[in-house]
A and B are shown apart, each in its own frame.
Chain A
């Protein structure tokens, strides 16, 4: 109120909103009948989800032989898609945890949807290694538990098992973080609802009242969950990169993989958040809450992480040359100019060259550029994983076993099907829960609302801002 406001502060809530306006605007998508766009999108996702179920049933019924995966390219599309989805699943926790620790206010506009996206992306990611096991009904063998097979335990020295622990921990902790953040907002929806909906939200909101002590504990819990989620999110993709880095395959056996994978994960995660946010803000009419300032902040993260990824690509090539080790050199020569050269150049263009346009402020603040580039980056990051997996395995140790890999319709159907699964979950989420964190947006209103800061602010804040 009486504090001077720094000029560097961005307006994050537009339209002269009161607390009540915020409640109305953010609850209304859960209260109105679904829009035509939503129904079309939901029907389409359901079709793809159906395709997914069909392709999975086909795989389980007939066996993994229905896939194009072969010896030696046994990880093929499947693990490519797994890593792609897991990478996408990193932005949510990054936004909610790391940006909370750094006290970045713009996180409040996008954290809820990004966390939801994380959860759904991890669900999609999980499908791939589970069905890649082949005899999926024995998938529980990956869990260490006293059993009648000896007891024969899992191998705790294997990065693949570390992955099981990392991803399931990540999934469950993200779920707790997301849901605990959601509880006060579900109470807001509950207190506006009637009849059956009220009953439903009473159950979902766990009896939240908004008592001062509860808010205090809620904030303490959020902060600690953020604190432990930050190393967690870094550990997950580090461990995913160990799946490759601890092998003895040239092209995989590199120490640069953990930071390179983490930067790539943040990069692709933010790209997917942009894809979703650009659509969500338009369809749910949330432009005043997910503003151009939010989009620009995320584009800055994208250009930074995209450049880190670019440096990693070049470092990898340099070190391969510098090592003087011909097998390593061949692996990278093959990666760039080999049979899958098109995927390498696709990756370089989409991930390193294309995002550089975000150095221009006008492009960072353009919705169409943002949307277009977010799709390009999603594609580029898929190429990255394909490059790492397919090109390396297609030229392994024995030239006699060198081969080429093409996906079959089953693999393509499973992959596009998981996109259907993802949007199916996301669209349901948009209908039942507030997509933007209501309480958190209210808590920043007085420092980020356009009636308090910015050129149209009341009470003559304008002249004070010049002193900062």
Chain B
């Protein structure tokens, strides 16, 4: 994510295929793309941007395992040690009867854990103001952004030339 007061040069494209072509061209020219913004997930973009696969699902597994252990051990402790109660002549430690709640706790922990992690690592919460470059990015524009806070005039010109060559619809500068 960009730091405060980042000066951004960005170009808007009309189509995801044109965008992907432009990202390839940027890679070929060794331009350092800050970020790409799209109105919907564009498949095939992540490898071009060198984005590694998200590790969110590993965390999901850990959260789920935590939930399963928590649910099962809590029931075990309550029924075997804290307040043993006989129900219908069944043993205190009735493992098969604990399965449904153990399963539900697995799902509950995995879902909440992953969702909270997702919003936290994306820096998204109610009240966060979006660093929007252009309002049409959530509509029909595909955006490539370069950080030009400390860039020289010549490199800015080079980037502008890149946008022109890759058929960007618009090129703008904005400080976010």
Contact: B56 with A217, CB < 8 Å?
yes
Are B100 and A212 in contact, with the CB atoms below 8 A? no
A-facing residues in B1-33 (Cβ within 8 Å)? 17
CB distance from A161 to the nearest CB of B (A): 7
Does the CB pair B57–A224 fall under 8 Å?
Answer: yes
User: Chain B: residues with CB nearer than 8 A to chain A?
Assistant: 17, 35-42, 45-46, 49, 51, 53-54, 56-57, 60, 64, 74-75, 78-79, 82-83, 85, 87-88, 90, 94, 97-98, 100-101, 103-108, 110-112, 114-115, 118-119, 121-132, 135-140
- CB contact between A225 and one of B85, B101, B114 (< 8 Å): that residue: B114
Q: Are B49's CB and A161's CB within 8 A?
A: no
Q: Which residue of A lies closest to B139 (CB)?
A: A23
Query: Contact: B83 with A152, CB < 8 Å?
Result: yes
Check A191 against B132 for contact (C-beta < 8 Å). yes
A345 at the binding interface (Cβ < 8 Å): no
- Determine the chain B residues whose CB is within 8 A of the CB of A466 once the complex forms: none
For B140, the chain A residues whose CB sits under 8 A away are 18-20, 23
A172 cross-chain contacts in B, Cβ below 8 A: 108, 111-112
Q: List 15 A-B contacts (CB under 8 A).
A: A19-B139, A144-B74, A151-B83, A162-B104, A165-B104, A166-B104, A172-B112, A173-B108, A176-B112, A192-B135, A209-B131, A211-B122, A212-B35, A213-B51, A239-B100
Q: Does A461 contact B (CB under 8 A)?
A: no
> A180, B100: Cβ atoms under 8 Å?
no
- Among B41, B75, B115, which residue has its beta carbon within 8 angstroms of that of A176? B115
Is B118's CB under 8 angstroms from A165's CB? no
| A309 contacts B by Cβ under 8 Å | no
Q: Is the CB of B100 within 8 A of A162?
A: yes
Q: Is the CB of B39 within 8 A of A210?
A: yes
Do A191 and B60 touch across chains, with their CB atoms under 8 A apart?
no
Given A151-B82, A172-B111, A206-B128; 14 other pairs, CB 8 A cutoff = A23-B39, A156-B75, A159-B100, A169-B105, A169-B108, A209-B37, A210-B39, A215-B38, A216-B46, A218-B118, A220-B57, A224-B110, A225-B114, A228-B106
Question: CA A439 – CA B42 in complex, angstroms?
Answer: 10
B111 and A206 within 8 A (CB): no
**Residues of A with C-beta under 8 A to B45:** 212
Interface range, A side: 35 or more
Contact with B along A221-263 (1 / 0, CB 8 A): 1011100110110010001001000000000000000000000
Give Cα A263–Cα B107 distance, bound, in whole angstroms. 22
Asked if A207 is an interface residue, CB under 8 A from chain B, the answer is yes
| Mask of A149-173 contacts with B, CB within 8 angstroms, 1/0 | 0111101111101100110010011
Digitize A194-218: 1 where CB-to-B-CB distance is under 8 Å, 0 elsewhere. 0000000011111111111111111
Contact A204 B126 (CB under 8 A): yes
Known: A156-B79, A180-B118. A211 touches B130 (CB 8 A): no
Report, nearest first, the 3 A-B pairs whose CB atoms are least far apart.
Answer: A207-B128, A19-B140, A191-B135
**Contacts A188-B139, A212-B49, A218-B41: A205 and B122 contacting too (C-beta < 8 A)?**
no
Judge whether A235 and B103 touch: CB under 8 Å.
yes
Taking a contact as CB atoms under 8 Å apart, the answer to whether A156 and B41 are in contact is no
> With A184-B138, A210-B37, A212-B51 in contact, do A165 and B17 touch (Cβ < 8 Å)?
no
Known: A180-B118, A206-B125. A219 touches B139 (CB 8 A): no
CA distance A39 to B112 in the complex (A): 36
Docked Cα-Cα span, A235 to B64, in Å, equals 16
From the candidates B42, B100, B115, B131, name the one contacting A221 in the complex (CB within 8 A). B115
On whether A211 and B36 interact (CB within 8 A), knowing A156-B97, A218-B118, A228-B110, the answer reads yes
- Complex alpha-carbon distance, A217 and B74, angstroms: 32
Residues of B within 8 A of A209 (CB): 37, 130-132, 137
> Are A228 and B132 interface neighbours, CB within 8 A?
no
The answer for the CA separation of A213 and B56 in the assembled complex, in Å, is 12
- Chain B contacts for A224, CB-based, 8 A: 56-57, 60, 110, 114
| Other-chain contact of B139, A152, A165, A192, A228 (Cβ < 8 Å) | A192
Q: Are B139 and A217 in contact (CB under 8 A)?
A: no
By a CB distance below 8 angstroms, the chain A residues around B104 are 162, 165-166, 169, 232, 235
Task: With both chains docked as a complex, state the minimum distance between the C-beta of A164 and any C-beta of chain B, in angstroms.
Answer: 9
Instruction: Determine whether the beta carbon of A232 is less than 8 Å from that of B35.
Output: no
B123 contacts across to A, CB distance below 8 A: 207
